[in-house]
Amino acid sequence: MGAPIEIGSDEARRRAEEELAKAKYQDMPDWLADLLQRLQDLLEGLARGPAGPSGLGGSNWVLLIVVVVILAALVVIVWKVGLPRWRPKTVDAEVETDPDVEPADYRAAAERAAAAQDWTEAIRHRFRALVRELEHRTILEPRPGRTALEAAGRAAAMMPSVEPDLHRAALGFNDVMYGQIRADRDRYQAMVAAEESVLAAARQYRHTDPSPPERSGTPRWAPRRR
């Protein structure tokens, strides 16, 4: 590896201070400029302290320079890009249909809720009507604990032509279940339109080949349940 690099403490301090100075841009926020200044003060304090010039060898000063440069670079990156923001996970609600309730009954409940302008309940019941209809037509197998996106993903595998409508309906159901949107007449009508599109395709659906057994889990575009 060769002999270690030996540089004087004054030269090492000068280099580190130059690197810090490079990070001082105009229009920098006060908190960021203060942080860079603290780094520089720390460097000067180490150089003047008891473990300063006499206690730090050349290799230690090189290490200190590297640390200071990395810290300065991180500070500038945070200034330019900002702190990372964690996006909340998309939730996937259980549909909770009753096998003893017919699709028409859920649809009627949705219409009653819509007449009372209870749009949240109207959307919930309308999606449940859709899932029960798909179960009634043997496109979906009745299964407890199925989530909205799981149901939509399974049905889309059988009827790919209406995958966008299935996905849209499942997301609309999840949104009102978890209060992520404010339910209203337009969103209910969007759910009705999606249901009608899916049911039109379901009426033309024919079981030509035995379908693979339904597995628990999420489709490729569905997030995991919280």
pLDDT digits (tens, 9 = 90+) for 118-171: 999 999 999 999 999 999 999 999 888 899 999 999 999 999 999 999 999 999
pTM: 0.55
Give the residue extent of every domain in the chain.
9-81, 103-203
Indicate if the pLDDT at residue 100 is higher than 80.
Answer: yes
Q: What is the spatial distance between Cα 10 and Cα 47, in angstroms, rounded to a whole number?
A: 8
Taking a C-beta distance cutoff of 8 angstroms, is the pair 155, 198 a contact?
yes
Taking a C-beta distance cutoff of 8 angstroms, is the pair 8, 57 a contact?
no
pLDDT of 187-211, one tens digit each? 999 999 999 999 999 998 875 444 4
Nearest CA among 96, 110, 95 for reference residue 170: 95
| C-beta neighbour count of 114 within 10 angstroms | 19
* Residue found under tokens 């200044």: 37
Nearest CA among 169, 101, 109, 111 for reference residue 133: 101
Q: What is the spatial distance between Cα 165 and Cα 110, in angstroms, rounded to a whole number?
A: 19
